[in-house]
Amino acid sequence: MAEPVLSTSGLTKAFGGLLALSDVSLTVRPGEALGIIGPNGAGKTTLFNVITGALLPTAGEVAFAGRTITGRPVHEIARLGIARTFQNIRLFREMTVIENVIVGRHSRGRTGFVGAILHLPGMRREERALRERARAYLDLMGLADHAERPAGSLTTGQQRLLEIARALASEPTVLLLDEPAAGLNTRETEALSALIRRLPVEHVRAVGLIEHDMRLVMDASDRVVVIDRGRKIAEGAPADVQRNPDVIAAYLGADFLAQATGRAANGEVRRS
């Protein structure tokens, strides 16, 4: 089996007397999308925050591409190749859609974002290349026609897609998506599911996905990890996880099990 591109070992995070994460170990393998589910407050976003350096763990380690990155600053981890989106949309609302993507792309440029703002020598040629690449990511998200609009004028669903485009613009190895389907309509969610399936094949080495839309998780994920009250309680293929008694009791519920089982029987829950 291939070496994990990203892994955690015994990851624990305490806030005072509250354990937000407790001994969480997981791996993200090359070429896969790993779904991470659990009730609100289970510790899922805290997990992403620790992995990306926004929070220091109380115990445990994070490894990326075979080396420990625990405790490194956010910008360094991002530059190594881990990009993420957020539950709360974090766009530059007054900047145009394409400018938001270019901001993400500048981490891979030579002149840098400050150089672009100040129009330093050598910037213009690179800026043209950056804009062309940014448009390609917008096209991937179905946002190319909105490139020159202010980001704040997009719908919530479109803004979430723009965040994904901006994250991809940094050319990450691993892309972590925190509730990317929030605010998307049914058609947009179906398109997002298809995109997530393509990402580890065409654009990044692996994807980590936090999501409450179970249809999206079960359709887009190769494996699913379930976290409840800071602890990992299950891990496996989507079809196995949705039948796990501990998962049903903690999160999914019998109604979801019946619906998911019915969809699986009809061929609706699949990985293509």
**What percent of the chain has pLDDT above 70?**
85
Least confident residue range of 16-25, 127-136, 192-201, 252-261: 252-261
Residue (of 32, 35, 42, 39) closest to 5 by Cα position: 32
Secondary structure string (H, E, C) spanning the chain: CCCCCEEEEEEEEEECCEEEEEEEEEEECCCEEEEEECCCCCCHHHHHHHHCCCCCCCEEEEEECCEECCCCCHHHHHHHCEEECCCCCCCCCCCEHHHHHHHHHHHHCCCHHHHHHHCCCCHHHHHHHHHHHHHHHHHHCCCHHHCCCEHHHCCHHHHHHHHHHHHHHCCCCEEEEECCCCCCCHHHHHHHHHHHHHHHHHCCCEEEEECCCHHHHHHHCCEEEEEECCEEEEEECHHHHCCCHHHHHHHHHHHHHHHHHHHHHCCCCCCC
- Sequence-distant (6+) residues with CB within 8 A of 216 are 181, 189, 192, 193, 196
Q: How far is CA 83 from CA 51, 76, 141, in A?
A: 10, 11, 17
Question: 177 vs 67, 119, 131, 264, CA distance in Å?
Answer: 22, 33, 24, 25
**Mean of the pLDDT values across residues 255-262?**
49
- At 119, the pLDDT band (50, 70, 90 cuts) reads low
**Domains of the chain (ranges, CATH numbers):** 1-81+172-272 (3.40.50.300), 91-171 (no CATH)
What pLDDT band is residue 270 in, cutting at 50, 70 and 90?
very low
Q: Pick 227 or 247 by higher pLDDT.
A: 227
pLDDT in the model for residue 129: 81
Residue 23 has pLDDT above 50, yes or no: yes
pLDDT recorded at residue 246: 85
At 247 the pLDDT is 86
Using the predicted structure, report yes or no on whether residue 121 has a pLDDT greater than 70: no
How does the average pLDDT of the chain come out, rounded?
A: 87
Amino acid at 56: L
Instruction: Count Cα atoms within 13 angstroms, Cβ side, for 210.
Output: 21
Model confidence pTM above 0.75: yes
Higher confidence at residue 2 or residue 179?
A: 179
Q: Which amino acid is at 22?
A: S
- Tell me which of 119 and 164 has the higher pLDDT: 164
